[in-house]
Amino acid sequence: MPPTATPPVGPAGPAAPDRLTEPDRLTECVVVPRFIATAATPSLAQARQLVRAAGLPNVLHGPETARTPSANTYRLWGAVLARTERPDAGLLAAAGYRPGLLDLFDYLLSTAPTVGEGLARAASYIHLVSSNSVLTSTESGDEVSVEYAVRRGDDELRGVVAEFALSVVTSQLRHATGTALTPLRVSFTHRRPRGHGGYGEAFGDAPVDFDAEADAITLHRADLERPLVTADPALAAIMMRTARTVRVPRADTEGVAVPGLREAIITQLPEGRPSLAEAARRLAVSPRTLQRRLGESGTTWRAELDAVRRERSADPRHAGGGSAQRAARLGFAESRSLRRAMNRWDARERETGQHTDRADRADQAEQVGQDRETERDREWGRRA
């Protein structure tokens, strides 16, 4: 899906940072290729074959916080087209959309009070699902054009991606309004495909234009004031606060000795002590091969595991619970092991002049989690 954004109508949070425009920083959250692969195939087994063919074996089980290069998602679209031989593959995949599939991004839109505010939040935080996408809204008279664009892409796949993205946005608005919302019209920059079909299900009876100046859906200006039946002020406050804290990293392959290793480590953390053997199994290589690749990159399994734990320990999204729970989430057998690791990380930061007390940060993160629960309890009390 979509890059940084010029917010649509209505107040919005900060737009995606300009630093994300560098090609090597363009990434998608794994929920995007996961959605594409599972929606484009009738079974999980075939979805696995599809992602393997695209060179993305880990996206089906990777954590929602993981990212993958945008180029990988385009490679996946190529595999989808090769398998389905359908020019409307983007629409077919989008038909599999269900609320929540896009994680935090879905809830930012659906908890807003109106369509206009929901679109504003989607535009401002589109980088959560794709730093290669841009969603903008432009008013003209009684109409509003919601445009989708990419920073960098494949011209041959442009139409498939645009149809997928705008169909998903339309589905999100339909779910949030509780209506069969139909755009005034839909436009695409690519040529009319052979076997022109699937547009009625995606966009209702809206006329569809091709060879247009932009990929967009056009709504009535009055549609922006439509209330969302999924609006939730308390949850929205939490979602917005969380979205502001999310740092969009480069793709997992950057700074990682073995592509996919970070995902393989993260998925093991809640299961107990992560192991090199299990990571190798998830990466479909032998433990000896994984050790050799790590050695060739000048690192070790222990160093990579420690780096992932260190990063996750400072992430406020993983707040909540006591020290034992935090230790378990990081794959430590006991809280003392976590405390020793924190002391080691702090000592390393002092040496590099980047020290901040990690234990204090963990306590602050725990307080954030408690504050979230308190805010929700208060809202429930008001409703009662």
Main-chain phi, psi angles of 140, to 5 degrees: -150, 105
| Residue 369, pLDDT score | 45
Amino acid 371 reads: D
Cβ neighbours for 283, distance < 8 A, ≥ 6 positions apart: 57, 58, 258, 260, 261, 264, 290
The one-letter amino acid code at 383 reads: R
For 174-186, how does the pLDDT look when each residue is reduced to its tens digit (9 = 90+)? 999 999 999 999 9
Exposure letters 260-270 (e unless 16+ CB within 10 A, then b): bbbbbbbbbbe
Section 334-339 average pLDDT: 77
For residues 27 and 73, what is the distance between their CA atoms, to the nearest angstrom? Answer: 9
Nearest of 336, 314, 246, 333 to residue 29 by alpha carbon = 246
Q: How confident is the model at residue 357 (pLDDT cuts 50, 70, 90)?
A: very low
Structure tokens at 202: 């995606």
User: 344: Cβ–Cβ under 8 A, 6 or more apart, which residues?
Assistant: none
Residues 6 or more apart whose CB falls under 8 angstroms from that of 371 comprise none
H-state helical runs in 283-354: 287-296, 301-313, 323-329, 335-352
At 222 the pLDDT is 94
Q: Which amino acid, 222?
A: A
DSSP state for residue 273 in the 8-state scheme: S
Give Dmax over CA atoms of the chain in angstroms.
65
Task: Report whether pLDDT(141) > 70.
Answer: yes
Look at residue 232 in the predicted model and tell me its pLDDT.
Answer: 95
Helix axes 335-352, 301-313, angle to 10 degrees: 90
Q: Which two tokens stand for residue 348?
A: 């390393």
Rounded (10°) CA dihedral 277, 282, 286, 289: -100
Instruction: Name the nearest CA neighbour of 219 among 206, 200, 210.
Output: 206
- pLDDT value of position 350: 58
Among 58-72, 114-128, 201-215, 363-377, name the one with the lowest average pLDDT: 363-377
Considering only residues 20 and 177, tell me which one the structure prediction assigns the higher pLDDT: 177
Amino acid, res. 188: F
Q: What does the mean pLDDT of the chain come to?
A: 79
Mean pLDDT across 218-223? 95
- pLDDT above 90 covers a percentage of the chain that reads 36
Q: Which two tokens stand for residue 219?
A: 């709504």
CA distances, 161 to each of 148, 255, 272 (Å): 10, 29, 39
pLDDT at position 17: 35
Residues 256-272 have pLDDT tens digits of 567 778 888 888 888 77
The C-alpha atoms of residue 10 and residue 55 are separated, in whole angstroms, by 40
Distance, in Å, from the CA atom of 76 to the CA atom of 294, rounded to the nearest integer, reads 27
pLDDT in tens, 278-291: 888 888 788 888 88
The span from the CA of 248 to the CA of 164, in Å, is 23
pLDDT, one tens digit per residue, over 314-330 is 655 555 567 777 777 78
Residue 86 has pLDDT above 70, yes or no: yes
pLDDT at 29 over 50: yes
Provide the pLDDT for residue 2: 38
Beta bridge partners of 149: 134
Token pair for 248: 């969009």
How many angstroms separate the first and last alpha carbons of the chain? 39
List, for residues 223-251, the tens digit of each pLDDT value: 999 999 999 999 999 999 988 887 765 54
